[in-house]
Structure 1
Amino acid sequence: MTTTQPVPGVPLPTAAGSAGQDGDPGRGRIVHAEAFLCDIPVEAVRTDAVQAFLKQETIVVRIRTTDGTEGLGYSYTIGTGGAAVLSLLRTTLLDVLVGQDATRPEATWRALFTSTRATTVGVIAALAFAAADTAVWDAKARLAGRPLWVEAGGASATVPVYDTEGGWLHLSTDELVEHAVASQRRGMHGVKIKVGKPRGHEDLERLRAVRDAVGPCMDLMVDANQSFTAAEAIRRARLFEQVDVFWFEEPLPAEDVAGHERLAQATSIPVAVGESMYSLGHFREYLQRGAAAVVQADVARVGGVTPWLKIAHLAEAFNATVAPHFLMELHASLTCAVPNALYLEHIPQLRAVTTSELEVADGLAHAPTDPGLGIAWDMDALERLRVA
């Protein structure tokens, strides 16, 4: 096999393939795999209670199958760690990918996982799996001639969107109101406001101003980014109930399942978690204990499309909804694939490296219809932003 340095836009070399495991004579066999890293600037200043979004380190995996079909997948960090993910791909996982059958993502994902048992479950491995797995699903859907949302389930062609870009913690109350009203006029069904000011009444005053501006018919979410103790989260939830908050996102550190359980029992506000969780078993524990009502699995952080679908269907079994974190351009297809999708987070980040945008109209995102992931990559732009 080869894992040569990639040159985006230049065709990959072809190779002869053996008979595919699914009976197709090698059509879906992966004959080449490569990985590289790009730094995509953030589109707006983004701050929350614990951090700032510095840049999107984008880890890209590109594969080609025996018949020449390509797949391009990706994952990301918000500023650090991308080189570690790239290293795991280049030293181990690309070798595993070559020879696998892109029409069998379950078998391919399991091969990746098995090759790295000493470093799983963990975020670096999950991000590496995700970049590879999304490339496999891109190729699988292209081979089938279908868009990802159909190939992965095809539940609905649209999904409601809510806006995050106007709710960052550094914004003034007037700016929060201005953004929320603008989102409402654009037809969005909800807005998310970051919380975590030093005192609860500061958060409440900001939320009340937004609620007064948009009225009772727009959903108002809050996100604490894991910044509270259980006691403080319970106290603030009682304040937030006054303005009919739609969900309370990441109130506590993700490891504190018991604290989330206590909060869920103490408030009428649904608890939302998932962006900082990396395994199917972690989601199962939350759902079994009634510690979450909204599942926000991030396809990059859970290891790709293959485990994301498992998590979505697990949530369905518990009569819970999914509203994934970030990666709007990819999650649009996944939320449309499953029957229990609640919302898509509207937070564009790929406009600098794509030639077209996700269609959003009247508060609904429309699933891409082109075969594959449906992301129109600008390969020249990716090359300009490439750092490794």
Structure 2
Amino acid sequence: MTHTADAIRHIRLSTATLPLSTPISDAKVFTGRQRPMTEVVFLFTEITTEQGHKGLGFSYSKRAGGPAQYAHAAEVAELAIGEDPNDIAKLNTKLLWAGASVGRSGVATQALASIDVALWDLKAKRAGLPLAKLLGAHRDSVRTYNTSGGFLNASIEEIKDRATASLADGIGGIKIKVGLPDSAEDLRRVAAIREHLGPDVPLMVDANQQWDRATALRMGRRLEEFDLVWIEEPLDAYDAEGHADLTRRLDTPIATGEMLASVGEHTRLIETRACNVIQPDAPRVGGITQFLKLAALADHAGLDLAPHFAMEIHLHLAAAYSREAWVEHFDWLDPLFNERLETRDGRMVVPDRPGLGVTLSDQARAWTTDSVGFGRH
């Protein structure tokens, strides 16, 4: 069969603000470093080609940064017009160089992530395959755990109720937030939830970077009795040495990586064996192209994988990882999309729809605060 070249005809960027029904607090709020989170800002990219193929991608920012992502993407997106959408790596490099003066991390790569994800969605749709199948899936479903019910603004009784509901909905594990200034209260909450769940339900905790090294080691030892799947972000995200020391000294696995914003930053975690479970976020590291580089390094190092947030993207990437992974279930994004991901028997099922398998809802359009187009409709 002769390949017929295609070209990107039109790109639409839009930014939308998703309001949260309840202000959300993790340990960073209780230590005074952040205010409660009330919204998430999204950057959506919609790509159309000369042959009529379409792709949808997104990135996001919690608290500050959303307008910066949108502004940077709007500066460089036009350079992709006329390019072959199949050449994703080439386009990723071209757009990175267009913004070389702001580097290859943070806002610069997060802005490009939305475009990159849209290109992968388009490519999988063109092939008539779910993205996981295009990448090469190892499994048709992935273990899933719930985070959105376990924030520190919720009481123990509320967390118990939400955990029970999550398990009834087919979710397999429960993660709760820790990292309060009062460590005794952290331990009380963990003990109560472990007792409620029983010994067999997977339970994780997340300190959101709020312990120093001495506290993390002390708490890690106290938490051993609860048979946790992992302790997440016990230290500052960039303290690779501290995380590596905990990984060596504790029986409970250490998980981290969600706050890092490039493959290069994750490489240090991998090379120093700073965790047992690596938690990259495709929108944060620059998209699926960059995530796949990172995943290959992590797999080679023997690390487990549990991508952060954005389950609509990460379900596919976790299914394509050679080791049994976890995917994080958040229901926050449900209003943005017309489709729902299925959970059953503790696992999230890879949809059989082509691409990511999601389309933007009317509500997402209604929450759009700005948009810009490039090329021809």
How much has 1:43 moved relative to structure 2?
Answer: 4.9
Query: 1:225 offset after TM fit, Å?
Result: 0.8
- Equivalent residues in 2 for 1:305-384, closer than 5 Å: 305-378=288-361, 380-384=362-366
- CA deviation after TM superposition for structure 1 residue 105, in Å: 1.4
CA distance in 2, matches of 1:43, 1:317: 41
Residues 33-52 of structure 1 mapped to structure 2, 5 A cutoff: 33-50=11-28, 51=34, 52=36
After TM superposition, list the pairs within 5 Å mapping 1:90-239 onto structure 2.
90-92=74-76, 94-239=77-222
Q: How does 1:261-300 map to 2 (within 5 A)?
A: 261-300=244-283
Instruction: Point out 4+ residue stretches in structure 1 off by more than 6 angstroms.
Output: none
By how many angstroms is 1:185 displaced? 3.6
d(CA) in 2 for partners of 1:162, 1:45: 21
Larger fraction in strand: 2
Unaligned runs of at least 5 residues, structure 1: 1-22
Contact kept? 2:129, 2:353, Cα under 8 Å: yes
The answer to whether the aligner puts 1:74 opposite 2:58 as a matched pair is: yes
Measure the CA separation in 1 of the matches of 2:130 and 2:94: 25
Identity %: 35
State how far apart, in whole Å, the 1-side matches of 2:249 and 2:45 are.
44
Q: Which residue identity does 1:157 align to in structure 2?
A: D
| Rounded Cα–Cα distance in structure 1 between residues aligned with 2:328 and 2:288 | 17
- Which runs of 5 or more structure 2 residues have no equivalent in the other structure? 29-33, 371-377
What is the DSSP-based 3-state SS (H/G/I as helix, E as strand, rest coil) of the residue aligned with 2:323? coil
Residues 56 and 359 in structure 2, CA contact (< 8 A), matched pair in contact too: no
Separation in 2 of the partners of 1:154 and 1:242?
35
Offset from partner CA, 1:225-273 (integer Å, 9 cap, x none): 1111111111111111121221111111111111111222221111111
User: Once structures 1 and 2 are overlaid, which stretch shifts more, 176-185 or 51-60?
Assistant: 176-185
Q: Deviations over 1:72-125 (max 9, x none)?
A: 111001132111111111122x12221222112111111111222211232111
Question: 1:205 is paired with a residue of what secondary structure?
Answer: helix
Instruction: Report the TM-score, using the length of structure 2 for normalisation.
Output: 0.92
Q: Deviations over 1:40-81 (max 9, x none)?
A: 122554210114332110101111111011111110011321
- What SS does structure 2 have at the residue aligned with 1:55? strand
Please report the RMSD computed on the Cα atoms of aligned residues, expressed in angstroms: 1.7
Q: Which has the higher contact order (CA 8 A, sep 6+)?
A: 2
Give 2:27's aligned amino acid. Answer: A
CA distance in 2, matches of 1:322, 1:240: 22
Paired residue total: 364
Work out whether residues 96 and 104 of structure 2, in 8 Å CA contact, stay in contact via their aligned partners in 1.
no
**Greater Cα shift, 297-306 or 113-122:** 113-122
CA–CA separation in structure 2 for the residues paired with 1:187 and 1:116: 43
1:194-217: CA deviation from partner (whole Å, max 9, x where unpaired): 001222221111111111111111
Contact persistence 2:339–2:357 (CA under 8 A):
no
| Alignment correspondent of 1:12 | none
Q: Would the aligned equivalents of 2:120 and 2:355 in 1 still touch at CA under 8 Å?
A: yes
1:33–1:62 contact (8 Å) kept in structure 2: yes
